[in-house]
Chains A and B, each alone.
Chain A
Amino acid sequence: MDTTVNTRVVELVAAKAELPVAELGLERTFEDIGLDSLHLMEIALWMQKEYGVVIPEGDLRHDQPLGEALAYLDAKTR
């Protein structure tokens, strides 16, 4: 994974998928790694709690490449 992305966000996504971080893959989608629509809401709720940011519904999509989604979440944490 891109080491410049917030590692807590990467670790959260890996934990939700029950996969090692190394197996996430930037081109894989949330769906590819086994996350459903509720997981995406759980990630949004975690971002709200940990960073005080709102992730609008629809900003995270199950067919989104992880590279794009993680970059988006990373930007939100800064």
Chain B
Amino acid sequence: MGRAAVLTGIGSTVPEQVVTNDMLAARMDTSDEWIRSRTGIRERRRVGVGTATSDLAVEAGRRALKSAGVESVDALVLATTTPDHPCPATAPTVASGLGLGPIPAFDVAAVCSGFLYAMATAAGLISLGTADRVLVVGAEAFTTIIDPDDRNTAPIFGDGAGAVVLTAGHQSDRGALLAFDLGADGDLADLIVVPAGGSRQRTSGVEPGPTDHFMKMQGRTVFVNAVNRMTESSRTVLRRTGWDPGSVDWLVGHQANVRILHAVADQLDLPGERAFVNVDSVGNTAAASIPLALDDAARAGRLAPGDRVVLTAFGGGATWGAITLEWPDLAAL
């Protein structure tokens, strides 16, 4: 059996400030009923004044290290769409904040698929022998790139962070990441885009407009592409793992919208209740979404050791991916 990356610790955090649907309805033309029926979201969290992505990442990382019962790792990979600064990467700040010493630390940018890309990257470091233990964090202060007056995006997105510890082990170990599938299609780059702040806008000779630093999303096209790509990617990893789709205990999809999650389950012929949902209470937290969902599921006792789990995501880029694992026996704190 080859060297594998095994999930040995998990942790997450969300900021204290709750934003309810009624609070949004007081600001814009929307309603609690409209938001809940179309997205399944009741409330989301928002960072307070002075809290940046790295602050959330450090707290989630600290909890994951505690869950794993370790104080050091050999590398840190951070998935984020909302780094503390355009330059440098945020991961070194997170590593310093956790007192992890001069370990390699870098960011991975794949928007809502970022955490799966970061897991695959970390598993690569482990399989090469570059690292024996890696902290993988997904963290977002996503509301900082959301137009507070955009009724298409403001109800959907929230802030938070989740992290896992991956440790070198064997494919037969419970918690081993068993199969990966990653993909991207740059022809769909315009589906989810922040127009300003990058070299394209800076060299355009045109000053950014007042909302150009906020994310724009083509919701309907994203919906169809998300369902199709998450379904195909899940089928690919199921085939590579040798699992029958019906044997999956939990589909832990990127928490974009409850109707996307149920549509993916439907396409895979899985009962809707096997799609884990926490988007109702945290909204779409982009790269933080999957580890946040896993930690919520583990702490609620929904994930039992040995459960067959499929992780899948679709996000800006466009990017997508899926990973299979059997849930390990670990401390969810």
Interface residues of A (CB under 8 A from B): 36-38, 41-42, 44-46, 49, 57
Once the chains are docked, how many angstroms separate the CA of A70 from the CA of B224? Answer: 21
A-B contact pairs, 14 of them (CB 8 A): A36-B37, A36-B38, A37-B220, A38-B223, A41-B223, A42-B259, A45-B224, A45-B228, A45-B263, A45-B267, A46-B266, A49-B267, A57-B220, A57-B224
Chain B residue numbers with a CB within 8 Å of A38 are 38, 223, 259
Picked from A44, A45, A46, A57, the residue with its CB within 8 Å of the CB of B221 is A57
User: What 0/1 pattern do residues 214 to 247 of B give for CB contact below 8 A with A?
Assistant: 0000001101100110000000000000000000
Chain A residue numbers with a CB within 8 Å of B259 are 38, 42
Once the chains are docked, how many angstroms separate the CA of A44 from the CA of B266? Answer: 13
User: What 0/1 pattern do residues 20 to 51 of B give for CB contact below 8 A with A?
Assistant: 00000000000000000110000000000000
Question: What distance in Å separates the Cβ of B305 from its nearest Cβ neighbour in chain A?
Answer: 33
Once the chains are docked, how many angstroms separate the CA of A37 from the CA of B221? Answer: 11
Once the chains are docked, how many angstroms separate the CA of A45 from the CA of B262? Answer: 12
Once the chains are docked, how many angstroms separate the CA of A5 from the CA of B58? Answer: 58
Chain A residue numbers with a CB within 8 Å of B228 are 45
Number of CB contacts from chain A to chain B under 8 A: 24
Once the chains are docked, how many angstroms separate the CA of A38 from the CA of B228? Answer: 14
Chain A residue numbers with a CB within 8 Å of B227 are 45
Residue of B nearest to A49 (CB): B267
Question: What distance in Å separates the Cβ of B270 from its nearest Cβ neighbour in chain A?
Answer: 13
Once the chains are docked, how many angstroms separate the CA of A22 from the CA of B254? Answer: 38
List of 6 A-B pairs having minimum Cβ-Cβ separation, nearest first: A38-B259, A41-B223, A49-B267, A41-B224, A45-B227, A45-B263
Chain B residue numbers with a CB within 8 Å of A41 are 220, 223-224
Once the chains are docked, how many angstroms separate the CA of A36 from the CA of B39? Answer: 12
Once the chains are docked, how many angstroms separate the CA of A45 from the CA of B266? Answer: 10
Known contacts A36-B37, A37-B220, A38-B223, then 7 further A-B pairs from the complex at CB < 8 Å, ordered by chain A residue: A36-B38, A41-B223, A42-B263, A44-B224, A45-B224, A45-B267, A46-B266
Residue of A nearest to B39 (CB): A38
Chain B residue numbers with a CB within 8 Å of A46 are 266
Residue of A nearest to B259 (CB): A38
User: What 0/1 pattern do residues 156 to 189 of B give for CB contact below 8 A with A?
Assistant: 0000000000000000000000000000000000
Once the chains are docked, how many angstroms separate the CA of A44 from the CA of B267? Answer: 12
Q: Among residues 245 to 271 in chain B, which have CB atoms less than 8 Å away from a CB atom of chain A?
A: 259, 263, 266-267
Question: What distance in Å separates the Cβ of B316 from its nearest Cβ neighbour in chain A?
Answer: 19
Once the chains are docked, how many angstroms separate the CA of A57 from the CA of B266? Answer: 20
Residue of A nearest to B257 (CB): A38
Question: What distance in Å separates the Cβ of A63 from its nearest Cβ neighbour in chain B?
Answer: 16
Residue of B nearest to A34 (CB): B37
Chain B residue numbers with a CB within 8 Å of A36 are 37-38
Chain B residue numbers with a CB within 8 Å of A37 are 220
Chain B residue numbers with a CB within 8 Å of A42 are 259, 263
Residue of A nearest to B268 (CB): A49
Question: What distance in Å separates the Cβ of B31 from its nearest Cβ neighbour in chain A?
Answer: 13
Question: What distance in Å separates the Cβ of B39 from its nearest Cβ neighbour in chain A?
Answer: 9
Once the chains are docked, how many angstroms separate the CA of A74 from the CA of B220? Answer: 24
Most interface-central of A36, A38, A44 (chain B CB within 10 A)? A38
